Amino acid sequence: MAASFLYDTHYQVDKPFALIDVTIATASPSATTPDHILAKRLEEQAKSRKVRFLGSDSAKKWKINKDAFIYWIGNCQQAALLSRQNAYDYWLMNFVWAGTFPKTSDAWGSLSPSAERVSKLLLFRLAWLFDAPMLAALLWQLSQTERKTKRILLEEETKTTEEMVVSVLGVLREATQDVRLRTDYRKQIEDITRRGLKYNTRRHKLATHLSLLLEPGVISDVEDAYRLPDGLRGTLAQYGSAKDAAYHALLPSLIGPGGKLFLELATSAFQVTPTEISDLTAEEWPGVLKRIQSIWSTIELWDRKFLGIDALAELFLVDNLARGTQLWASESWKRFLLDRSRHHPDEVTIHVGRFGEVQYLRLP
């Protein structure tokens, strides 16, 4: 398992909602664009509006450069927001279908009031799927005192960031059988242990992770310190170390790696009440199909041929979690749709990816 945000972090890549908003406005749903061209376009587009800062009612000029957008594009490609050709990928589409951003706004990152709760939960879910071990370790670290000051996290003498990153790298190394990844993780661990991190590097290492917790409201920034809700602190108290929390963020579940811990954190942070997880059934399918049909009408306008099943399942997971309705196991989607396509090909068809695995659906 690759660590999507662990290395490619940048101090300016700390406003995920604004970054997603400007990416939707700039990238193409279907056309190919080289990285450096898209980064330049994103930089120019970002200047066209102000940006809304976390916890502030006013918008300010967005000081972000092309280099930061290069980092951002790399993260997008790893986290299924953009394809390798920099067209919309299925997770970026999820934010479109959730109605996260209003059609008109004076600032990047402004959320539609009607979609604010589900959009924040959607961002946390995206972050969890692609960065769970680091987020779990960081949350555990923040839970150790009532309020964790930024100085404690970032100052050299504390070594907090180094210890946290090394513990996560160790968990990732133990979790993979890929020889190349294991070697890379070991080298990173040895380099950080031997030389430590410079102040700016230490700050950059945490910038993206912290923003992915701050903007959804999982943690808050109060008087130069980070604070967790009491319920969230209680959830994390069951783990003895950052490494232990990171390990549990990778344990398999019916809704993907770290599903049990994710639902516990979501319950505390978003006041949701998860239901028991079950398989998608024929009785529930008509309502699901109606929602998919509304999405499909947009796909056709974009001249796209398929919908990604995994990302679609995640959109329904977040939406149902926010509404307190039935949660469906991730893999049950593929099993159900494969069976449905065999018996009702006039309703839905299934298509495989490069390696022969069921990945996409198509409506007639």
What's the pTM value of the predicted model, to 2 decimals? 0.94
- Lowest-pLDDT choice from 1-5, 92-96, 356-360: 1-5
Q: What is the mean pLDDT of the chain?
A: 90
The answer, yes or no, to whether residue 334 has pLDDT greater than 60, is: yes
Give 109 or 14, the one with higher predicted confidence: 109
The pair of structure tokens assigned to 240 is 């003895």
Nearest to 3 by CA among 79, 73, 71, 68: 79
- How many angstroms separate the CA atoms of 213 and 135, rounded? 8
pLDDT at 2 over 60: no
pLDDT at 332: 96
